[in-house]
Amino acid sequence: MDAVAPRVGTGGRPDAPQVGDHLALDLLNTEALSQGQAIDHWESGEDVHRWLVRQGIASAGEHTPSDLLQRGRDLRKAVREAIAARKAGEPFDVQPLNVHLEAYLTAPRLQRDAAGGWAMTRLPANGTAASLLGPVAEAAAHLLVEGDFALVRQCEHPDCILWFYDRTKSHKRRWCSMAQCGNRQKAARFRKRNHAE
């Protein structure tokens, strides 16, 4: 969880950090803040597709629908508003997220499993952006329904907006990553103390 050396994607930009420990929170983490500057790791449909491949949702080499960037950003906005409101204990409009859930169509498929038995899976009905993003919308809905929002938090560093699901045993996780924000904070405290002395 500590290793977040940014990997550089094919577009030349670093890939979004994978520190959320939940698909819906890593969706929010495709927008970050660095030295007060907003960073969007999604600047093109290919960026979104590459992210979906990293999440194991899409396969590399697949066609990227032309509206994937717009739909991805719309979904992210809907999920961000819902999660922030749920975290704050405030009411929120479920309609924007439901639009994405309703557009997610899958078809059941019967197939042999690895052990020679039978398995039933669901496949996205077609290669539309809505179907590609469907599992992400569904993960967000599950989080809103079943998530323990005491454990859904934002990194405590003032220059960081990343979200995570605290799955540590002690439930005392404070940073998106110790390597990044935890150490940054420690160094700042150390500087302040030395300065005061």
**Site of interaction with Zn ion (CB under 5 A):** 155, 157, 160, 162, 176, 181
In the complex, the smallest distance separating the C-beta of residue 111 from Zn ion, rounded to whole angstroms, is 42
Alpha-carbon span 44 to 70, nearest angstrom: 9
**Cβ closest to Zn ion, residue 133 vs residue 162:** 162
In the complex, the smallest distance separating the C-beta of residue 176 from Zn ion, rounded to whole angstroms, is 3
**Cβ closest to Zn ion, residue 54 vs residue 174:** 174
In the complex, the smallest distance separating the C-beta of residue 6 from Zn ion, rounded to whole angstroms, is 13
Alpha-carbon span 81 to 189, nearest angstrom: 32
**Cβ closest to Zn ion, residue 144 vs residue 155:** 155
In the complex, the smallest distance separating the C-beta of residue 154 from Zn ion, rounded to whole angstroms, is 8
Pair 54, 170: CB distance under 8 Å: no
Q: Which amino acid is at 86?
A: R
* All residues at 6 or more sequence positions from 35 whose CB lies less than 8 Å from its CB, including other chains: 159
**Cβ closest to Zn ion, residue 104 vs residue 165:** 165
Give DSSP secondary structure letters for 39-51: EES-SSHHHHHHH
In the complex, the smallest distance separating the C-beta of residue 156 from Zn ion, rounded to whole angstroms, is 8
**Cβ closest to Zn ion, residue 27 vs residue 155:** 155
Give DSSP secondary structure letters for 80-115: HHHHHHHHHT-----HHHHHHHHT--EEEEEEE-TT
The alpha carbon of 87 is separated from its chain's Cα centroid by a whole number of angstroms, namely 16
In the complex, the smallest distance separating the C-beta of residue 164 from Zn ion, rounded to whole angstroms, is 9
Instruction: List the alpha helices (DSSP H) in the chain.
Output: 23-28, 45-54, 68-88, 95-102, 129-146, 183-196
**Cβ closest to Zn ion, residue 122 vs residue 167:** 167
